[in-house]
Amino acid sequence: MSNIRRGLPLAKSRIEKIFPKLTPEQISRIAAHGHLRAIQHGEVLVERGNISIPFFVVISGEIEIVTAATDSTETLVTVYDAGQFTGEVNTLSGRPTLCRWRVTKSGEVIELDRQHMLALVQTDSELGEIMMRAFVLRRLELLAAGIGDVVLIGSIYLADTLRIKEFLVRNGYPYSYIDLERDHDIENMLDSFHITCSELPVLIYRGKIVLRNPSNQKIADCLGFNDTIDQTKVRDLIIIGAGPSGLAAAVYGATEGLDLLVIETGTPGG
Q: How many CB atoms lie within 10 A of CB 2?
A: 11
Where among 113, 145, 177 does a domain terminate? Answer: 145
Structural domain including 64 reads: 12-145
Does residue 42 sit within a domain? yes
Establish if 268 belongs to a structural domain: yes
User: Does some domain include residue 6?
Assistant: no
Provide the residue-wise pLDDT of the chain in tens; the chain has 270 residues.
Answer: 345 554 455 566 778 889 999 999 999 999 999 999 999 999 999 998 888 899 999 999 999 999 865 556 678 889 999 999 999 988 888 888 888 999 999 999 999 999 999 999 989 999 999 999 999 899 989 888 888 889 999 998 999 999 999 999 888 899 989 998 888 778 888 888 888 888 999 999 988 899 999 999 999 999 888 777 777 889 999 999 888 888 888 888 888 888 888 888 766 666
Taking a C-beta distance cutoff of 8 angstroms, is the pair 128, 122 a contact?
Answer: yes
The count of structural domains within the chain is 3
Per-residue model confidence (pLDDT) at position 266:
66
Question: Looking at residue 10, what is its pLDDT?
Answer: 57
C-beta separation of 35 from 59 below 8 A: no
2 belongs to a structural domain:
no
pLDDT for res 9? 52
- Domain finish residue from 145, 171, 192: 145
Q: Are residues 209 and 247 in the same domain?
A: no
Residues 83 and 129 in one domain: yes
**3 in a structural domain:** no
210 and 265 both lie in a single domain: no
In a domain, 1, yes or no: no
Cα distance between residue 49 and residue 227, in whole Å: 11
Q: Which amino acid is at 204?
A: I
Query: How far does Cα 32 stand from its chain's mean position?
Result: 26
Question: Which pTM was predicted?
Answer: 0.78
Does residue 159 share a domain with residue 126?
A: no
3-state percent breakdown (helix, strand, coil) of the chain, nearest 5? 35, 25, 40
Whole-number pLDDT of residue 3: 55
